Amino acid sequence: MTFFQSEPEITPFYDPNISYEENCKSGPFGGFADGITYENKGEPQYDFLGHKVYLPFGIPAGPIPNANFCKGGFQKGFDIIMYKTVRTRPHPCNPFPNIVPVQTKEQLTLEEARKGLIMGNKFTNPIAITNSFGVPSLSPEEWIPDMKKAVELAGKGQILIATYLGTPGNGEEAFIQDWIDGAKMILETNAPIVELDLSCPNEGKSSLLCHDTERVVKIVKAIQPVFAPKKIPVLIKLSYFPSDKKLQDFIEKVSPYVAGFNAINTIAGNVRKEDGSQALPGEGRLLSGVCGAPIKWAGLDMVKRMAKIRETSQYKFIIIGTGGVTTPEDYKEYIKAGADAVMSATGAMWNTNLAKEIKETIL
């Protein structure tokens, strides 16, 4: 059954009209399944954390749940792909639906997000959605070999990044240990770079881990002995920081232990139907992450502010810009703002030729 149609009529590589489990089993769709491969020319020239890529552009953790999706992304010319966040234990996905369109202005401000949004009845251009998955994960016995396969699917000038998070347990010590255990599991996949997902609002919680600087410092210190001997760079995924002071404090305290930062994930907002009822079923799901074109301003703002901090900092870190990238012009804006690499989730989902379009304009 088709709940929401796209306008114009296109098929996203992740089908929002079927469950997460069905997508994982049968996907990807659209352009990621047509078998047409973008052919890069020449030699990869861009350096990304010691690895040469054709273009520092790709897809962040979120819409790429397994190796089959990774294969489709690499074939379409997305040279940096992040495997969807995994955990040390199985974790179910939130109930269907997980992606719905939202009605919003060209630019979604934090104030408007706090007031709440109304669910749309069609995916339109420029694309604006909310997503609520709850960071599902297969068991390590399943995702470790699949992620290892995904690492091997990266072609010349391409790279896969592993993304994971710790699951809260019985107290602070158990939580930190889960991050350590997850790091050891990531090592088994041979992933050359890892990202810590500290930015997801999709579990129905009002606070984000990336806004708890002291706890993040404990985590990055704890996992350093796992990744440092293997010289595996560690990235951190951030949400939006309204305060310049808190952002600077976070970066200054965390930078000694990581290679860079990726911002942003989404802007959290309460999403309802026209009649005022909760758009997404289930406890804790009134609040979900809004993404797509209307949040570009927030991603650009974070990149500019982080670049400014980097100019005066003793630490040298890379900046990945994410949020609202749907056109080649968006990619250029992020690079101009100070990003070393750029990523697109929602934009790439609905336009599987986005990497090709960007490369054709600048390479």
Q: Could you tell me which of 84, 72, 98 has the C-alpha nearest to residue 19?
A: 98
Cβ burial, residue 177 (10 Å; 0-12/13-18/19+): middle
Would you say 13 and 32 are in contact if contact means Cβ atoms under 8 Å apart?
A: yes
Q: How far apart are CA 295 and CA 220, in angstroms?
A: 28
Only one residue has tokens 């966040």, namely 85
Handedness of CA 296, 87, 80, 241 (dihedral sign): positive
Only one residue has tokens 């609202």, namely 324
- Within a 13 Å sphere around the CA of 259, how many CA atoms are in the beta-carbon half? 18
Would you say 259 and 234 are in contact if contact means Cβ atoms under 8 Å apart?
A: yes
Alpha helices in the chain (DSSP H): 20-26, 67-75, 110-115, 140-153, 172-187, 213-227, 244-254, 296-312, 328-337, 346-350, 354-362
- Within a 13 Å sphere around the CA of 324, how many CA atoms are in the beta-carbon half? 23
Residues near 311 by beta carbon (within 8 Å), at least 6 away in sequence? none
Q: Write down the pLDDT at residue 15.
A: 97
Domains of the chain: 5-362 (3.20.20.70)
How far are the Cα atoms of 6, 118, 298 from residue 107, in angstroms, in the given order?
20, 15, 9
Q: How far apart are CA 255 and CA 314, in angstroms?
A: 9
Q: What is the DSSP track for 178-219?
A: HHHHHHHHHHTTT-SEEEEE----TTS-SS-GGG-HHHHHHH
How far are the Cα atoms of 226, 234, 269, 283 from residue 230, in angstroms, in the given order?
8, 11, 39, 41
Is the whole-model pTM more than 0.85? yes
Q: Write down the pLDDT at residue 8.
A: 55
Q: Write down the pLDDT at residue 202.
A: 42
Cα 262 from chain centroid (whole Å) = 8
Q: Write down the pLDDT at residue 122.
A: 92
Task: Give ∠ CA 253-58-239 in degrees, rounded to 5.
Answer: 35
Cβ burial, residue 255 (10 Å; 0-12/13-18/19+): buried
Q: How far apart are CA 347 and CA 185, in angstroms?
A: 31
* Token pair listed for 125: 């251009």
Q: How far apart are CA 243 and CA 175, in angstroms?
A: 27
* Token pair listed for 76: 């379409």
Q: How far apart are CA 193 and CA 102, in angstroms?
A: 34
Residues near 28 by beta carbon (within 8 Å), at least 6 away in sequence? 13, 14, 68, 69, 72
How far are the Cα atoms of 103, 165, 212, 319, 351 from residue 236, in angstroms, in the given order?
30, 11, 13, 10, 26
| Consecutive 10-residue averages of pLDDT for the chain (363 residues) | 57 96 98 96 97 98 97 98 98 96 94 95 94 96 98 98 94 95 98 94 59 94 98 97 96 97 96 96 93 98 98 94 98 98 98 97 87
